[in-house]
C-alpha cells in the first residue's frame, strides 16, 4: 500500500462521511442550504434565474393547463436552477484546480454553460407545447 494513499481501506466507510441516520439527513440539509446561499451570494446568473423562477413558477399555476402540464412547466423552470447549480460547481472546481488557461478547463466551463443554455431553451419550448400544443 502506498504511504500517500489516504483512501479508507476497502469495505470501510469514508471517514469524512461520519454521520448516519437522522443526523446525516440534517447535515445534508445544512450543506444544501449553504450551497444555495453560496450560489445566491457568488453567482449572478443564479440570482437572475431565481428571480425568473419566482415569476414563472406561480404563473404556471394560473395557466390553463392540466396538472401534468403545470408540473412540466414548473419542472422546466426548476431544471434551469439545477443545471445552473451544477455549472457553478464545475466552474468553482476548475478555478480551484488552476486559474491558468487550459483547453480542458475551457471545455469543461463551455460545456457547463451549454447545458445551462439548453435548459433555458427548454423552458419556452415546454411552456409553448403545454399551452398551445
Which residues are tagged catalytic? 84
Distance of alpha carbon 89 from alpha carbon 56, whole angstroms: 25
How many C-beta neighbours within 10 Å does residue 110 have? 10
How many C-beta neighbours within 10 Å does residue 94 have? 18
DSSP states along 69-125 = HHHHHHHHHHHHHHHHHHHHHHHHHHHHH--S--HHHHHHHHHHHHHHHHHHHHHHH
Amino acid at each position: 500500500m502506498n504511504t500517500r494513499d489516504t483512501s479508507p481501506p476497502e469495505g470501510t466507510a469514508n471517514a469524512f462521511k461520519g454521520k448516519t441516520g437522522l443526523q446525516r439527513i440534517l447535515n445534508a440539509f445544512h450543506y444544501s442550504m449553504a450551497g444555495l446561499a453560496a450560489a445566491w451570494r457568488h453567482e449572478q446568473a443564479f440570482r437572475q434565474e431565481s428571480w425568473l423562477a419566482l415569476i414563472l413558477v406561480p404563473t404556471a399555476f394560473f395557466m390553463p393547463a392540466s396538472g401534468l402540464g403545470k408540473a412540466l412547466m414548473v419542472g422546466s423552470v426548476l431544471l434551469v436552477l439545477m443545471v445552473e447549480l451544477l455549472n457553478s460547481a464545475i466552474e468553482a472546481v476548475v478555478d480551484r484546480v488552476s486559474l491558468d488557461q487550459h483547453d480542458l478547463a475551457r471545455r469543461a466551463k463551455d460545456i457547463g454553460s451549454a447545458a445551462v443554455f439548453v435548459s433555458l431553451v427548454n423552458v419556452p419550448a415546454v411552456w409553448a407545447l403545454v399551452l398551445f400544443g
